[in-house]
Amino acid sequence: EKGGYEHFMIKEIHEQPKAIKDTMTSRIMMDVDEVKLDDIKLTKEDLESISKIYIVACGTAYHAGIVGKYVIERLAKIPVEVDVASEFRYRNPLINKNTLMIVVSQSGETADTLAALRLAKEHGARVIAITNVVGSSVAREADDVLYTWAGPEIAVASTKAYVTQLIAMYIIALYLGRLNGNLSIEEFRLIRDEMLKLPEKAEYLLNQKETIQKFAATHYVHKDMFYIGRGLDFAVALEGALKIKEISYIHAEAYAAGELKHGPIALIDKGVPVIALATQEELFEKMLSNIKEVVARGAHVISFAFEGNDDISKVSDAVVYLPKTLSILAPVLSVIPLQLLAYYTAVERGCDVDKPRNLAKSVTVE
Ligand code: F6R
């Protein structure tokens, strides 16, 4: 059942190229100048009345939502607020018929996410669900459903569901951007063509494990780890830190790299592992400065950057180079080595990778 792999988690990490491909199939196609979304019935007129989008979810799905905010605001120019479902439902959010809500849930059964969906519907909002389970509660109660085609996810720690949630976010952003005219056909084509190459690039990345395995083998004994990044890299840093916490029980925190100086840099001491993401082209130089700042305090840095950014090797102990894609699509690739880092670290520590302590796959009570 594990297809020759030692754990479900590593099997599911390896299923990501296929999951990405399946989630794009029949929606994003070569030479087709539009997103085909038969599952979503939102019209141009409906969209004109939408003044705000809320993305609501828990855990890993919430992290996919943070990427969604960046991407939808950038491509469709609609203001987006992201919230964790357990906060959203109790804070009297401003919802009305001009609100579009996107809920994200792998299982489609998470209690808080479902409650947030119901709250939005009571106030007249339209709800789109991104879920992996056909016929789940979230799928049944939402107005429109965009299924991720990740296939069953068994390991408690979410991996392939996350990357397909990202793909769903790009699909929605492209769709909305074209529908309201804020996304040019040239930019649409550029992103479409690069998206179609992601499965192959993810596959390539899965074969570049040595640097990660080595870093895990030398740093698994640490008590704290820091994940830093800017823009979309910060969103991925949050997900990377969650993965390591969940399955290896190492305390990890993610920071927007520009925030280091406002407090957390006080925690950087000799030998502290820092995981630095530097995939965002326009922020690359700023990330280099942040990396130098932590190195000056003795941090051990593993960096993630696109091929060609060799400068980063001068300031890092180890570098994982990602095959080049658009900055906006980087999360789909950069999360993969972070999942592997969490996995190999947990294995080194002898943890129960697929069933981490205190956690359940689907949180159906609040
Ligand atoms: C983390 C993880 C959880 C889930 C969260 C939401 O690896 O699996 O954080 O992402 O419990 O679950 P769904 O997406 O089923 O609503």
Name which residue sits closest to atom 9 of ligand 1, judged by CA: 59
Q: How far is CA 335 from CA 18, 46, 144, 189, 329, in A?
A: 16, 34, 28, 24, 11
Contact 230, 286 (CB under 8 A): yes
Q: How far is the CA of 317 from the centre of ligand 1 (A)?
A: 32
pLDDT at 1: 86
106 Cβ closer than 6 Å to some ligand 1 atom: yes
The two three-digit tokens of residue 71, written as one number: 């991407």
Q: Is 166 left (phi over 0), alpha (psi -120 to 50) or beta?
A: alpha
The two three-digit tokens of residue 61, written as one number: 């799905």
List pLDDT tens digits, range 38-57.
Answer: 889 899 999 999 999 999 99
Average pLDDT for residues 296-307, to the nearest whole number? 97
Q: How far is the CA of 65 from the centre of ligand 1 (A)?
A: 12
Q: How far is CA 270 from CA 118, 212, 263, 299, 301, in A?
A: 49, 20, 17, 6, 11
Asked if residue 300 has pLDDT above 90, the reply is yes
What is the Cα gyration radius of the chain?
20
List pLDDT tens digits, range 46-86.
Answer: 999 999 999 999 999 999 999 999 999 999 999 999 999 99
What is the value of pTM for the model shown? 0.98
pLDDT at 38: 85
Q: Is 263 left (phi over 0), alpha (psi -120 to 50) or beta?
A: left
> Other CB atoms closer than 10 Å to residue 365's CB: what's the count?
7
Average pLDDT for residues 278-306, to the nearest whole number? 97
Closest ligand 1 atom to Cα of 106: 14
15 Cβ closer than 6 Å to some ligand 1 atom: no
Q: Which ipTM was obtained for this model?
A: 0.99
Q: How far is the CA of 266 from the centre of ligand 1 (A)?
A: 31
pLDDT at 137: 98
Sign (positive or negative) of CA dihedral 50, 51, 54, 55: positive
Average pLDDT, the chain: 97
107 Cβ closer than 6 Å to some ligand 1 atom: yes
Specify burial of residue 33 (Cβ count, 10 A radius: 0-12, 13-18, 19+). exposed
58 Cβ closer than 6 Å to some ligand 1 atom: yes
Is 11 among the catalytic positions?
Answer: no
Nearest to 147 by CA among 17, 37, 18: 37
Question: Pairing mode, if any, of strands 300-306 and 273-277?
Answer: parallel
Q: Which residue in the block uniquely carries the two structure tokens 């996107």?
A: 102
The two three-digit tokens of residue 323, written as one number: 């095959």
Q: Is 29 helix (H, G, I), strand (E, B) or coil?
A: coil
Closest ligand 1 atom to Cα of 243: 7
With the most atoms of ligand 1 within 8 angstroms of its CB, the residue from 62, 106, 166, 236 to mutate is 106
With the most atoms of ligand 1 within 8 angstroms of its CB, the residue from 158, 163, 247 to mutate is 158
Closest ligand 1 atom to Cα of 58: 6
pLDDT at 366: 87
Rounded CA-CA distance 366/364 in Å is 7
Among 121, 245, 286, 361, which one carries the catalytic annotation?
361
The model's confidence at residue 365, banded by pLDDT at 50, 70 and 90, is confident
Rounded CA-CA distance 6/45 in Å is 51
For residue 276, report the phi and psi dihedrals to the nearest 5 degrees.
Answer: -110, 125
Rounded CA-CA distance 138/47 in Å is 22
- Give the chain's largest Cα–Cα span: 58
Average pLDDT for residues 218-238, to the nearest whole number? 96
List pLDDT tens digits, range 306-354.
Answer: 999 999 999 999 999 999 999 999 999 999 999 999 999 999 999 999 9
175 Cβ contact list (under 8 Å, min separation 6): 35, 37, 40
